[in-house]
Amino acid sequence: MEQNRKVALTGIGVVSPYGIGKECFWRGLQKGSPAIRRISLFNPEGFLSQVGGEVPDLNGAVVLEGRKELPRVVPMAILAAREALQDAEIDTTQLEESEKEKWAVIVGTGAGGIDYAEQQYEGFHKEGSHRIHPYAISNSFPGMLSSELSIYFGFRGPSHVMSNGCTSSTDAIGYAFQSIRRGERDCVLTGGAEACMTRGILSGFCRMKVVSSRFNNTPERASRPFDKERDGFVLGEGAWFFVLESFEQARRRGARIYCFVSGYGATCDAFHPVRTTKDGKESARAMVEAVKDAGLALDEIDYINLHGTSTVMNDRTETAAVKLAFEKKSYAIPMSATKSLVGHPQGASGAMGVATCALSLANQFITPTANYETPDEACDLDYTPNRGRETVLRHVLSNCIGFGSKNASLVLSGVGA
C-alpha cells in the first residue's frame, strides 16, 4: 500500500454564529467582532450563564426538505458539507455509483443529537411513553450524524463518527488524513458539527462552574481567552466541513487547493475526567508529534490556533504546553483563539480551528483574539490581541484539549510551503 501521500484540502463549508457560509465566517474573524449574544433558543433566565454563540436563521425543515424529526446538528452539518463539496467543485448528482463507493464520511461531534434526546425525555416525563418518537434512539446518539450525511449525499464508503469531547473533530480530520495518506482512499468528507445549546447541557456546565457568568449583560465581552478577567467559556455551536483528497486526485481534476494537511498528533494525560494536568506535558507532546509527523522542525511553525477556551485553568495549561513544546521559540510565534469570537462549539472545536487555519493560509492573515484587555502574568505569549494581522504563513498548527484529558493537534501547510 502506498505510504505518505500528500493530502490536499480542496473544499471548505461553514455554518457558524456569523451565519451560513465560509465567507461570512471569514469576514467576522477578520473584523474581530464577536458573534456572541444572549441565548434565544430557550429562555436562559435563571441560568448562571445566559450567553452563547448561536447559529442564526437556521431553518432545518427547509434544509431537510420537510423532515422535522431530526436534531439541530443535522441541518447544520448538511449545509456545511454541501458548501464544502460545492466549493471543491464536486457535484454529487453527477458521480457514478462506483465513485460514491469510494467516498468516506468521517466526522466529529461531542453531543450529537442531545437536543433531540432532551426533547424526547421531557415529553416522556410529561405525557408518558406514547410521546416518544420511534426514532428517538437513532436520532439522539452521535453516530447518526455520519449516517445522515452518507444518506444525504449517497456516499457508501466508511461512515464514522469520532466522539472524544472537544478533540472529536480534530481526531476525525486526523483519521481522514491518515486514511488518504496511507492510500486507503482518495477522498473523504470530514469535519465536525455541534448543536448542544440546550437547557440540560447548559445546566451541567453551570454546575461545573466553567461557563462565563459575569458578562450576561454584555455578551460580546464574555469570551475572553487569556485575559486576566476571564471567568469561563461561552457555549457555542456550528459546523465546519472539508473535502480532503489525495494530491494526485486533486491535481488530476484541476482542483483549487487551499492547503495540505500534513501532520497529526494525539495523546492523553490519563489523569482526570474533566481536568488537565497543570504542566501541559501531554498537550505539548501532541503538538510535537504533529509537527514531527509533518516532517517539520518546530521552528517552522508560523502560527498556532489555540484551543483557548477562556477558562482560567485551560488557558494557563495551554500556555504552559506551548512553552514546553516550543521553548524559547514560543514567544516569537503568533497565536490566537477563535472561541473569543464565536464561543466554544465543543466537539466541533477542532474543525473550527482547521477552517480558521486553512483560510488564514489562503489569505496570509492571522485572526485576532478578542476581548484581550488585561494581561495575565501566567499567560504571556503573543495571542494576537484584538486586531488581526497580515503576515507570511507557511505551516500552521491547530490545537485541541478536551475532557478526559485528551489532546490533539493538526499541522496544515500552505500550497507553496
Active-site residue identified among 259, 344, 379, 400? 344
* Closest by CA position to 370, among listed 235, 155, 219, 257: 219
List C-alpha distances in Å: 296 to 67, 222, 229, 291, 394. 47, 37, 36, 6, 11
Q: Look at residue 124 in the predicted model and tell me its pLDDT.
A: 83
Backbone phi, psi, residue 77, to 5°: -65, -40
- Rg for the chain (alpha carbons), in Å? 20
Q: Look at residue 1 in the predicted model and tell me its pLDDT.
A: 44
Does 344 participate in catalysis according to the annotation?
Answer: yes
Q: Which pTM does this prediction carry? A: 0.96
DSSP H/E element including 265: strand 259-268
Q: Look at residue 66 in the predicted model and tell me its pLDDT.
A: 65
Amino acid sitting at position 148 = E
Kindly state the cell numbers that stand for 394: 507557511
Q: How far apart are CA 304 and CA 27, in angstroms?
A: 20
Active-site residue identified among 196, 307, 357, 400? 307
Where do we find the cell 488518504?
Answer: 180
Percentages helix, strand, coil for the chain (3-state, rounded to 5) are 40, 20, 40
Q: Which residues contact 31 (CB under 8 A, 6 or more apart)?
A: none
Averages of pLDDT over each 10 residues, the chain, 417 residues: 83 97 98 98 97 91 70 95 98 95 97 91 83 85 95 97 96 98 97 96 96 98 98 98 98 97 95 81 97 98 98 95 97 98 98 98 98 97 98 98 89 93
SS3 (DSSP) at 278: coil
Q: Look at residue 3 in the predicted model and tell me its pLDDT.
A: 66
Q: Look at residue 68 in the predicted model and tell me its pLDDT.
A: 65
Does 166 participate in catalysis according to the annotation?
Answer: yes
Does 133 participate in catalysis according to the annotation?
Answer: no
SS3 (DSSP) at 202: helix
